[in-house]
Amino acid sequence: MTRFFLTTAIDYVNSQPHLGTSYEKICADVIARYKRLCGFDTLFLMGNDEHSQNVFKKASEEGLDPLAYCDRMEDVFRTAWRRLDVSFDDFIRTTEPRHKAGVTDLVKRIYDAGDIYEGVYEGWYCVSCEEFKQEKDLADGNCPLHPTLKPEWIREKNYFFRLSKYQQPLLDHFAAHPEFMQPDMRRNEILRLIESGLIDVSVSRAGQSWGIPLPWDPGSVVYVWFDALINYASAVGLGHDPQMFARWWPADLHVIGKDITRFHAVIWPAMLMAAQLPVPRQIFGHGFMTLNGQRMSKTLGNLIDPGDAAGRLGTDTLRLYLVKEVAFGGDGDFSWERYDERYNVDLANNLGNLVSRVTTMAVRYRQGRLAPTGAGSDQLARLGERVIADYRRAMDGFALHEGAAAAFRLIDATNEFIAATSPWALAKDAASADRLTQVLFDAAEAIRLSAVLLLPIIPSSGREILDPSGRAGTRRHAPT
């Protein structure tokens, strides 16, 4: 069986899951479920990023040992993802021994290859971003993302990764693999960045206790970003399970936000090249969600709790909104009004009413048993074939919104078909008995197909429609 290994970004545990982070996990989950539906042996990895100084600080503020704090947050995150029906197969924490083994192995490979060297870092550091900043990254001397927090001027012994050496290999890789970074708009941004020249990056912090020590200099810990990226490889055995690693590496897909494409599409592949390991096959940088056109942030106090959104109209409604209403790869907007409206139109009217009407008629007129009679046209069946082809093309290319739209095209057409064929009128005419059976069969079959296509997007509604105990009366045609 062909395997498919996909990952999401791992989350800092110093804040709670919100609609923005949930958006990424839900979209990745749709891809994972789609791959499983297509028969891939799928491994879907998520996790938490724990070696952050902000996590360390937050834990101390709450009077907790950092690990105890991370344990508590793991529960918060897992609960949130479960609530959204996110079907991850593995959940990695960067404080786990398996991750420590992976990080130790990878940094040692790069060090042994001569691509990590000792130096002194002197410059700005934004503690909130946990990023070294160049003068050109700052606005009026402040981090543009954290204008109220003065960046720190630090001077310390650091180890540096020879990123500059990988400028040409990266350009060659991008040229040979146009699909490596998607969508194209982000690929072009990254290409311009690489072409403009790469400078070596710091990979360690001195004098800190919270992190993974460098194997050759335990007085320094691996810089949190370098550490975090390695989770994708350590989860599948790097440094501790060579057989597993051979089976699952390289990853087929990293789903990440557009703000961290530089780390994933430049630094991460260069690290792997230096370690002489295969680079991931594809990286997809999704856009951001706004609320009524406004950026969502803790400072603005407009973060949406995904549990509240799911609680209002159901998890499937939230999933459908995020997948169908936002072109995957671009930015999207959320508003409670549109959310309610989409629920009424898509789920309650178009899908829900259709299922209940066809089921009721199938039971009333045919005791819930339908078989084709050949009396009628094959218009819906032909449309179904076209829709499946469109859906697969869209989903294979991660155009998730088009996949959802394709499924709903079949639902809309089935509603029109019912209106045009008027089964309730056919039922009054004994001569139309075969025609009525065929009409109901066609409608039920179109609903079954739509439900299968929607399984990755709205898994519980899809399952409910396909339930052989019969809400949709499709027992004889349930997928095998």
Residues at the site binding Zn ion, with contacts judged by CB under 5 A:
126, 128-129, 143, 145-146
Query: Please, is 232 exposed, middle or buried when counting C-beta atoms within 10 Å of its C-beta (0-12, 13-18, 19+)?
Result: buried
Shortest distance, position 151 Cβ to Zn ion, whole Å: 7
Alpha-carbon span 53 to 298, nearest angstrom = 19
Q: How far apart are CB 210 and Zn ion at their closest, in Å?
A: 19
- Let me know: does 420 contact 439? Beta carbons within 8 Å: no
| Bridge partners for 286 per DSSP | 257
Q: Which is nearer to Zn ion, 57 or 162 (CB)?
A: 57
Please, which residue, 112 or 152, has the CB nearer to Zn ion? 152
Closest CA to 88 of 20, 28, 1, 17: 28
How far apart (Å, rounded) are the C-alpha atoms in residues 91 and 70? 13
DSSP string for 202-263: E-EEES--SSPEETTEEEEEE-HHHHHHTHHHHTTTTTT-HHHHHHHPSPSEEEEEGGGHHI
Name the minimum Å distance from CB 262 to Zn ion.
Answer: 15
Closest separation in Å from C-beta 379 to Zn ion: 57
Q: Closest approach of Cβ 142 to Zn ion, in Å?
A: 8
Provide the strand spans (E) within 306-396: 332-334
At 10, the amino acid letter reads I
d(CA 125, CA 400): 38
CA dist., res. 252 & res. 35, Å (int): 11
> Closest CB to Zn ion among 126 and 444?
126
DSSP string, 107-149: HHHHHHTT-EEEEEEEEEEETTTTEEE-GGG-BTTBBTTBTTS
| Nearest distance in Å: CB 144, Zn ion | 8
Q: Which helix (H) or strand (E) holds 6?
A: strand 3-8
Identify which of residues 143 and 439 has a Cβ nearer to Zn ion in the complex: 143
Smallest separation (angstroms) from Zn ion to the CB of 143:
3
Token pair of 115, please?
A: 């691509």
Burial class (CB in 10 A: 0-12, 13-18, 19+), 141: exposed
| Shortest CB 14 distance to Zn ion, Å | 14
Question: In what helix (H) or strand (E) does residue 69 lie, and over which residues does it extend?
Answer: helix 66-83
| For Zn ion, the closer CB: 54 or 432 | 54
Closest CB to Zn ion among residues 129, 405: 129
Nearer to Zn ion, 44 or 125 (CB): 125
Nearer of residues 145 and 405 to Zn ion, judged by Cβ: 145
DSSP summary character for residue 38: T
Which residue, 37 or 129, has its beta carbon nearer to Zn ion? 129
Nearest to Zn ion of 131, 346 (CB atom): 131
Owner of token pair 């592949």: 269
